[in-house]
Amino acid sequence: MANSAFLNKLDSACRANRSLLCVGLDPDLGRVAVADIVEFNLAIIEATSDIVCAYKPNLAFFEALGLDGFLALEATLKAIPPNILTIGDGKRGDIGSTSAAYAKALFNVWGFDAATVSPYLGHDSVEPFLAHKDKGVFLLCRTSNPGGRDFQDLTLLDGNPLFEHVANLAGEWNVAGNAGLVVGATRPEELGRVRELCPDMPILIPGIGAQGGDLEASVRLGATADGRRAIINASRSVLYASSDPKDFADAARQAALELREGINQVLESEGKGWS
């Protein structure tokens, strides 16, 4: 199967910046170093855009601000360099007609390169997203939150856990080569299993930093055989590395640089560096 436009952009962004790092843009008004979240986001982007492969705006933090939040999201997306992947993190998913509207909003209106999608309403809820063949669709598989085990670890009649069934279905649905999975860094054994089931599929890996995910294990177990297509996301640990309005962007850059270096050290140790 040929690479989709989404995969080509992802691979290109990773190569250009020698990076598997994604920065999540979660502008929490209670924590941002400056009151204007557009100013905050633009400073973060300017400080880190040469060391990341993707940005992942979390839509909830923008939606919570009403119209001002939507205007902030618009300004934020305009500031992201066009060669860097954008992931709309809204975890959408509903009956087919509603999913079609969600997909249109995320891909056609906002212009995201990819989106996070819940697969738990089944194939007809996911297909409207996958139908946008040049866009990426990251299906929730094994999430990083503690409550993820309430459903995702349930054993099915075939003896396998539900999250493995999701991974297998994603492989079946990946006709256009634009599907991916979300697997948390807090569950490295499950991450390794998902990579076994989906050897070439991109995996978005949240949970590094504030959630305590294992960076080394996430890179080693989450990357493909050639050390690619693991998108290691960090949000709070980068965004809020400093609360000082004078140096928050510099602190964010330093935190992001340290993460990229940590990721690349793991790749180098396994002979999968960027040279």
Residues marked active site are found at: 91
Residue 274 located in a structural domain: no
pLDDT at 213: 77
* Helix or strand holding residue 182 (H, E): strand 179-183
The CATH number assigned to the domain holding 260 equals 3.20.20.70
Confirm if 162 and 156 have CB atoms less than 8 A apart: yes
Q: What is the pTM of this model?
A: 0.96
What residues make up the domain containing 132?
A: 5-269
Give the per-residue pLDDT at 109: 98
155 within a domain of the structure (yes/no): yes
**Per the domain annotation, does 118 fall within a domain?**
yes
Phi and psi at 229, nearest 5°, equal 60, 25
Q: Is residue 179 situated within a structural domain?
A: yes
Strand-pair partners of 204: 182, 231
Q: Provide block-wise average pLDDT over 10 residues at a time, the chain (275 residues).
A: 88 98 96 96 98 98 97 98 98 97 98 97 97 98 91 91 96 97 93 97 89 87 97 96 96 98 96 91
Is residue 275 in some structural domain? Answer: no
Q: Is residue 111 part of a domain?
A: yes
Instruction: Say if 166 falls within a structural domain.
Output: yes
CA distances from 84 to 6, 49, 63, 242, 248 (A): 11, 8, 23, 24, 22
Tokens of 37: 């979240």
Q: Please count the structural domains in the chain.
A: 1
91 in Cβ contact with 58 (< 8 Å): no
The pLDDT, as a whole number, for residue 1 is 56
Contact 117, 137 (CB under 8 A): yes
